[in-house]
């Protein structure tokens, strides 16, 4: 798939494990450590802090702790950075953290004498904690810590900054004390196997422990978690505690939640003839839309894209603020609404610029585990494999079968190989499709961005013609895939791909040719394939840009196939 994504320097993706609370917030602080930052909660206004001229101020709302917080107001030429030099000990490790709110908020440390560090968040309507660690050099006695926003973005807020580590002799903060008990624990969305929890942040906490029926099940860094691995139609009691280097608070008051009665995302059942559309989780000039805006002609909606993490095989997904969702909960609600309408919503892995490496048993397991975690977190019905930089058929097949074992019979599994990937059954992509034929929903090959290619009759056909669609589909249909596992993937508009756009009427002719033997060009298959699954387009956003002309034409044709 083409995707002109807007990458911001230093961008981080939240891994599935962290999003689900499977990884405790790391800290190297000891009991005697202190917060060496001064005026860490901005209760003394901007004392000890230096901000870019005219960009920093102190406000009484919103605040995370105490009565005041920092407000930074970026301009087109300035990120509104506020910084403080803190006294540190050489050869020591410090944990830098801060609670922040707003779009593109950064937290970092420079002058460490080793490797300078930074972390950031693309945005949040509520408080969330950023955290990173750094180690000082052999002669380092002062480090500059800072926070800032991004050029031209809206104001950001920061509060309760912590630089936790050995006292550097600068008269920093007080020794760390055990945090207070979290309040406001509430249960949110519940699926058949997971429950979303949230609570009020606790000042001085660096992490939280989540308990289910008295047993610890997760450690998270922020004031929310999704507890997974639950049984359907079952009530559970949950509690949460706050932690830091001084210890753990008592558990909160308990909240009870009951899981739903049916498993998976709920969409699960793909119609005999289906239309697949890719939905863009980014803005590349096509119409920006929410899932609720995707027309009803689409039966499978592939959310684009999941990305690789630093762990081989593991994937992550982060909502792009450009899409306009106020929260992940709103996104999940849209997924659930589509599923209630009989649609399947899946997570597409890769895209034109994505690179997920599954080439070992360990990476296959990491893929399956992280993909299933994301399915549980968001309610996705399955995954789409859109890896355009190569794959290993042996280990990707293992990964997908492991995922199917976790997700069950309702798993929706699609693929979007390029034309070159499906020219021969000896190709890695084609072998993968055949290896997972027992769990495969549909292969929607991309009939674009390729130039002329060979058809199943050994003749060369030009991209953008009905013959190109039918003669190349014939390779898959005669190469071992069931007709129900073959779809035609095309751009929704001339702007949706670099080349290969065809008018919807050409797509419809190809569908008739393959299923009914009518509407063919010079190539006519030796037999018909009435069970052909349907068609796919990149993307629902480009379709909307063109007035939804593709789905309005191809959708009814697909749904009327024999």
Q: Per residue in 167-177, pLDDT tens?
A: 888 765 556 67
- Residue after which a domain boundary falls, among 233, 258, 283: 258
Is the pLDDT score of 30 beyond 60?
no
The catalytic residue positions are 388
Is the four-CA dihedral 458, 462, 463, 467 of positive or negative sign?
A: negative
| Cα–Cα distance measured from residue 315 to residue 309, given in angstroms and rounded to the nearest whole number | 6
| Same domain membership, residue 420 and residue 326 | yes
Please state which of the ranges 158-162, 191-195, 275-279, 409-413 shows the lowest mean pLDDT: 191-195
Is the pLDDT score of 103 beyond 90?
no
What pLDDT, on a 0 to 100 scale, did the predictor assign at position 9? 27
**CA geometry: angle 63, 64, 70, nearest 5 deg:** 50
| Same domain membership, residue 199 and residue 116 | no
| Same domain membership, residue 423 and residue 357 | yes
Q: Is residue 269 part of a domain?
A: no
| Same domain membership, residue 251 and residue 278 | no
Q: Is residue 351 part of a domain?
A: yes
Q: Which residue has the higher pLDDT, 356 or 229?
A: 356
pLDDT in tens, 119-166: 988 777 788 889 999 999 999 999 999 999 998 889 999 999 999 889
pLDDT in tens, 65-98: 788 999 999 998 899 999 999 999 999 999 999 9
| Cα–Cα distance measured from residue 538 to residue 534, given in angstroms and rounded to the nearest whole number | 14
| Cα–Cα distance measured from residue 543 to residue 372, given in angstroms and rounded to the nearest whole number | 30
> How many other CB atoms sit within 10 Å of the CB of residue 102?
23
Q: How far is CA 202 from CA 206, 222, 270, in A?
A: 9, 10, 45
| Same domain membership, residue 452 and residue 328 | yes
| Cα–Cα distance measured from residue 222 to residue 201, given in angstroms and rounded to the nearest whole number | 8
Is the pLDDT score of 329 beyond 50?
yes
Specify whether the CB–CB gap between 461 and 453 falls below 8 A. Answer: yes
CATH of the domain at 228: 2.60.40.10
Instruction: Round the average pLDDT of the chain to a whole number and report it.
Output: 87
Domain span at residue 250? 186-258
3-state secondary structure of 92: coil
CATH of the domain at 86: 2.60.120.260
| Same domain membership, residue 233 and residue 129 | no
Q: Is residue 398 part of a domain?
A: yes
- Residue after which a domain boundary falls, among 114, 131, 165: 165
What pLDDT, on a 0 to 100 scale, did the predictor assign at position 175? 60
| Same domain membership, residue 197 and residue 93 | no
Q: Is residue 157 part of a domain?
A: yes
Q: Is residue 3 part of a domain?
A: no
Please give the share of the chain, as a percent, with pLDDT higher than 90.
Answer: 67
For every residue of 263-328, DSSP letters joined together read -SSS-----SSEEEEEEESS-SSSPP--GGGS-TT-SEEEEEEEEE-SSTT-EE----GGG--S-H
| Same domain membership, residue 235 and residue 308 | no
Is the pLDDT score of 484 beyond 70?
yes
Q: Is residue 19 part of a domain?
A: no
Q: Is residue 177 part of a domain?
A: no
| Cα–Cα distance measured from residue 18 to residue 218, given in angstroms and rounded to the nearest whole number | 10
203-231 mean pLDDT: 86
272-288 mean pLDDT: 96
506-521 mean pLDDT: 97
Residue 498 tokens read as 């670099």
| Cα–Cα distance measured from residue 137 to residue 144, given in angstroms and rounded to the nearest whole number | 13
Q: Which residue has the higher pLDDT, 558 or 268?
A: 558
Q: Is residue 268 part of a domain?
A: no
Q: How many domains does the chain have?
A: 3
106-117 mean pLDDT: 95
| Same domain membership, residue 278 and residue 358 | yes
| Same domain membership, residue 479 and residue 359 | yes
What pLDDT, on a 0 to 100 scale, did the predictor assign at position 179? 86
pLDDT in tens, 34-72: 889 999 989 899 999 999 999 999 999 998 878 899 999
- Alpha carbon of residue 425 to chain centroid: 32
Q: What is the pTM of this model?
A: 0.56
- Residue after which a domain boundary falls, among 258, 282, 304: 258
Q: What confidence tier does 25 reach under pLDDT thresholds 50, 70, 90?
A: very low
| Same domain membership, residue 365 and residue 248 | no
| Same domain membership, residue 241 and residue 136 | no
């Amino acid at each position: 798939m083409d995707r002109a994504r807007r990458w911001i320097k230093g961008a981080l993706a939240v891994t599935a494990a962290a999003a689900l609370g499977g990884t405790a917030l790391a800290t190297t602080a000891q009991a005697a450590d202190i917060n060496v930052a001064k005026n860490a909660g901005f209760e003394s206004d901007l004392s000890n802090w230096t901000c870019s001229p005219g960009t920093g101020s102190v406000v009484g709302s919103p605040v995370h702790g105490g009565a005041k917080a920092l407000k930074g107001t970026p301009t087109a030429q300035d990120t509104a950075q506020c910084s403080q030099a803190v006294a540190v000990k050489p050869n020591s490790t410090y944990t830098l953290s801060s609670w922040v709110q707003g779009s593109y908020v950064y937290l970092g440390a420079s002058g460490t004498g080793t490797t300078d560090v930074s972390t950031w968040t693309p945005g949040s309507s509520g408080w969330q904690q950023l955290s990173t660690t750094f180690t000082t050099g052999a002669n380092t006695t002062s480090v500059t810590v800072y926070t800032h926003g991004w050029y031209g973005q809206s104001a950001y807020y920061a509060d309760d900054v912590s630089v936790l580590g050995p006292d550097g002799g600068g008269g920093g903060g007080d020794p760390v004390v055990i945090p207070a008990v979290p309040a406001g624990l509430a249960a949110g969305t519940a699926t058949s196997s997971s429950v979303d929890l949230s609570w009020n942040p606790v000042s001085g906490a660096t992490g939280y422990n989540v308990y289910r029926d008295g047993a610890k099940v997760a450690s998270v860094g922020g004031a929310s978690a999704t507890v997974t691995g639950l049984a359907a139609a079952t009530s559970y009691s949950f509690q949460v505690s706050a932690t830091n280097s001084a210890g753990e608070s008592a558990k909160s008051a308990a909240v009870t939640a009951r899981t739903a009665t049916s498993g998976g995302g709920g969409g699960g059942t793909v119609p005999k003839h289906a239309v697949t559309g890719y939905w863009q989780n980014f803005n590349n000039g096509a119409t920006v839309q929410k899932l609720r805006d995707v027309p009803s002609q689409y039966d499978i909606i592939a959310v684009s894209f999941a990305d690789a993490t630093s762990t081989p095989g593991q994937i992550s997904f982060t909502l792009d603020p450009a899409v306009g969702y106020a929260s992940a909960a709103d996104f999940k609600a849209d997924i659930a609404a589509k599923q209630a309408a009989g649609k399947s919503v899946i997570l597409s892995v890769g895209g034109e610029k994505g690179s997920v490496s599954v080439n070992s048993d360990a990476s296959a397991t990491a893929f399956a585990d992280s993909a299933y975690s994301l399915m549980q977190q968001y309610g996705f019905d399955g995954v789409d494999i859109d890896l355009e930089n190569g794959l290993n058929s042996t280990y990707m097949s293992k990964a997908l079968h492991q995922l199917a074992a976790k997700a069950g019979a309702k798993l929706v599994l699609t693929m979007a190989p390029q034309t070159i990937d499906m020219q021969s059954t000896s190709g890695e992509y084609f072998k993968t499709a055949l290896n997972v034929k027992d769990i495969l929903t549909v292969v929607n090959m991309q009939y674009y961005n390729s130039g002329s290619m060979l058809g199943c009759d050994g003749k060369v056909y030009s991209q953008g013609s009905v013959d190109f669609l039918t003669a190349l589909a014939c390779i898959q249909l005669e190469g071992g895939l069931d007709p129900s596992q073959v779809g035609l993937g095309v751009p929704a508009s001339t702007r949706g791909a670099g080349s290969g756009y065809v008018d919807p009427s050409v797509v419809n002719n190809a569908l008739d040719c393959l299923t009914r033997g009518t509407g063919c060009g010079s190539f006519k298959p030796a037999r018909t394939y009435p069970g052909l699954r349907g068609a796919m387009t990149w993307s629902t956003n480009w379709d909307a840009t063109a007035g939804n002309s593709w789905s309005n034409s191809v959708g009814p044709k697909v749904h009327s196939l024999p």
